[in-house]
Structure 1
Amino acid sequence: MKRVTVLNSFVLLLLGVFLSVSAYAQDAKPKASPPATTTGKVGDATVTVNYSSPSVKGREVWGGLVPYGKVWRAGANEATTVTVDKPVLVEGKQLPAGTYSFYAIPGEEEWTVIFNKTAKQWGTQYDEKQDALRVQVKPVKSATMNERLKYDVTDKGLVLQWENLEVPVAITARK
């Protein structure tokens, strides 16, 4: 009788370990739009972009998944944020140091990029009254296909790259 109880306890222990490992393995799946960060210098200002990086997955992105003429969160999940540690000029317009949510209104020939004062928010909670700055930029065809959305910070500003498009945003340090 004692052997049966020990055997039952052992089987229950193994079952518990199996269920725990299975539950952990499910949590370990890669996220559909994993978080990413890029940082760089523009003059003496540090620019950091925090975003979630969706994939193309065979979809039509521009004019499809991301419609033209509508505000887009410029990433996935939480709002993309741009932090500048010093005042800068964005496309020649002043932007104070701080952290901003980053939105865009894509167009076929021209985009409006938006720096919004409410940084910590879900990406779809955009409030135009909180805009700190809006500027117009021109998208260009990318030299390569980018399956995942990514941002780069260069000495000339930041660049959004996804699918077959790049959207450069000129940033210069204020003097």
Structure 2
Amino acid sequence: MLITLRSLTFLVLLLFLGTCAGNEASEDGSHHHEAAPAANATAGKSKSPHTTAMGNIGNAHVHIEYSSPSVRGRTIWGGLVAYDQVWSTGAHNATAVTFSEPVRVGDTDIAAGTYGFFTIPGREEWIIILNENYDQHLADDYDQSLDLIRVTVQPEKLPEPVESLTYAVEPSADGAGGAITVAWDSLKVALPVSATE
């Protein structure tokens, strides 16, 4: 009887501890469940994070949404980014530029709206493109017939390399004009933009 009483006591103790451990695991599990999105967001952090740039040119608010890849020791120009081919000028989805008011690029008036921003990088000059289709993966669905404008620009050699692709809206001193700039690795290009009258 003594062995049976010990066995019974041991069994009750095991059940009690098992129940307590189960409650702790349940509480712990719900705590980790709540924290999981933050942990997963960090663990799955994109190497080309989605980011934005914005500013004003004249009365127009310019908003740019893009994914920003990094150099990470790679050859960018003529390597990761091919020369003489349409590039989404970012990673993942095409870069989208939104103008809150009409603007002028060169001699072309561009209506308020959202447009795809593409480039064709060259060794000596680049072509910057605003296209009607901004909702696409990279340049997979790029259609030249939807181009609103193509502007040829000279790339500027940067004194210091830029690790992550960076867009900026740079207003001119008088505020009536400015540029959308793209800098990455050793180069920077600018699309001149002005307010409409």
Q: Same fold (TM over 0.5)?
A: yes
- Greater shift in the superposed pair: 57-66 or 119-128: 119-128
* Correspondence 1:111 to 2:120: no
Structure 2 CA distance for partners of 1:41 and 1:19, relative to 1, 3 Å: closer
Q: Kindly provide the CA deviation profile for residues 56-111 of structure 1, in whole angstroms up to 9, marking residues without a partner as x.
A: 00011111100000010011111101111222221333222211011111001111
The answer (yes or no) to whether the contact 1:91–1:169 under 8 Å persists in 2 is no
CA RMSD for the aligned pairs?
Answer: 2.1
Q: How far did 1:114 drift?
A: 1.1
* Correspondence 1:39 to 2:54: yes
Task: List aligned pairs for 1:63-142, cutoff 5 A.
Answer: 63-124=78-139, 125-142=141-158
| Structure 1 outlier segments of 4+, above 4 Å | 21-24
Tell me the TM-score normalised to structure 2 length.
0.79
In structure 2, what is the equivalent of residue 26 of structure 1? 40
* Correspondence 1:13 to 2:29: no
What secondary structure, in the 3-state scheme, does the structure 2 residue paired with 1:75 have?
coil
In structure 2, what is the equivalent of residue 171 of structure 1? 193
**Structure 1: 5+ residue stretches without partners:** none
Return the alpha-carbon distance in structure 1 between the equivalents of residues 37 and 103 of structure 2: 47
Q: How far did 1:121 drift?
A: 2.0
Total equivalences in the alignment: 175
Q: How far did 1:133 drift?
A: 1.6
Structure 2 CA distance for partners of 1:10 and 1:122, relative to 1, 3 Å: same
The answer (yes or no) to whether the contact 1:82–1:100 under 8 Å persists in 2 is yes
The answer (yes or no) to whether the contact 1:86–1:97 under 8 Å persists in 2 is yes
Q: Kindly provide the CA deviation profile for residues 108-129 of structure 1, in whole angstroms up to 9, marking residues without a partner as x.
A: 1111111111122222332222
Return the alpha-carbon distance in structure 1 between the equivalents of residues 36 and 55 of structure 2: 40
Once the two structures are aligned, what percentage of the paired residues are identical?
37
Greater helix share, 1 or 2?
Answer: 2
**Structure 2: 5+ residue stretches without partners:** 1-11, 172-177
What secondary structure, in the 3-state scheme, does the structure 1 residue paired with 2:87 have?
coil
Return the alpha-carbon distance in structure 2 between the equivalents of residues 141 and 44 of structure 1: 31
Equivalent of 1:157, from 167, 172, 179?
Answer: 179
Structure possessing the higher radius of gyration over alpha carbons: 2
